[in-house]
Structure 1
Amino acid sequence: MTHKIDFSTASSGALIEALCKRLDEIRLSRNISQADLAAEAGVSRSTLTRLADGKAISLDSFIRIMQALRLTDHLAALLPDPAVRPVDRVRLEGSERQRASGKRAAAAKWRWGDEDSQA
């Protein structure tokens, strides 16, 4: 069961609950018992029970569980590399920055004395 959450507007408590429940769903989808995962991650089984209930656990335990589930490659996506500026990201993606511009009608060439004929 996937928990849909808007990460940009959710409270910290809602984010913790969603992340913990997602980890537990991954454990269940891989058919791993709490006891086996606890032993592999080096955390207590009660920590995994709190995780399954969507309750906060320590960051260290969260990372250990991710490591045991072989999900550490996803940790890099949590925070962007501060050395890469947003403009550099656009260049790295191969996209060029474009500006919107409407087509302009060609203006008639103006000459001295035209202002008298327009009046």
Structure 2
Amino acid sequence: MKIEGLLTDEAILTELGRRIVQRRLELQFTQEMLANQAGVSKRTVERIEAGATAQMSTLIRILRALELLDRLETLVPEAVPRPMDLVRLKGKARKRASGKRQAAQEGPWQWGDEA
């Protein structure tokens, strides 16, 4: 199954759990072996493989034990400033987001309670 935006969170967790099972089996690990290598309980491995939620640190430990930690780089790549941002910010890094600007409202501007 392809992980995409139309899937529910639960479906994505289930698919990630299935993929973790596949990788564990490729490496010939039992759940107990993976748990020991990752420093988590066997029950935690069972829950993640079943599609339950987990803490990020637990997932990182399991990915490290499954030799998949380097794949996180593609998940959330390092942000590289665009050339025009460098010119505008004079080499400084952004620290705040301005949010999205709303389109101009129709009609003249009015006070809120005079409408």
TM-score bracket relative to the smaller structure: 0.5 to 0.7
Structure 1 unaligned spans of 5+:
86-119
Select 1:9's aligned residue among 6, 10, 32: 6
Please tell me whether Structure 1 or Structure 2 has the larger radius of gyration of its CA atoms: 1
| Maintained 8 Å contact 1:17/1:56 | no
User: Pairwise CA RMSD of aligned residues?
Assistant: 2.0
Count the aligned residue pairs. 84
Q: Could you state the TM-score of these two structures normalised by the residue count of structure 1?
A: 0.63
Q: CA deviation at 1:24?
A: 1.5
Q: Residue by residue, what CA displacement relative to the aligned partner does 1:29-84 show, whole Å, maximum 9, x if unpaired?
A: 22101111101000000001112212222211111000011111101010132225
State the identity as a percent.
32
Matches of 2:68 and 2:3 in 1, distance apart?
22
> Runs ≥4 in structure 1, deviation > 6 angstroms?
none
* Residues 27 and 69, structure 1, Cα contact 8 Å, conserved in 2: yes
**Alpha carbons of 1:82 and 1:23: their partners in 2 closer, same or farther (altered >3 Å)?**
same
CA shift in 2, pair 1:24/1:84, >3 Å = farther
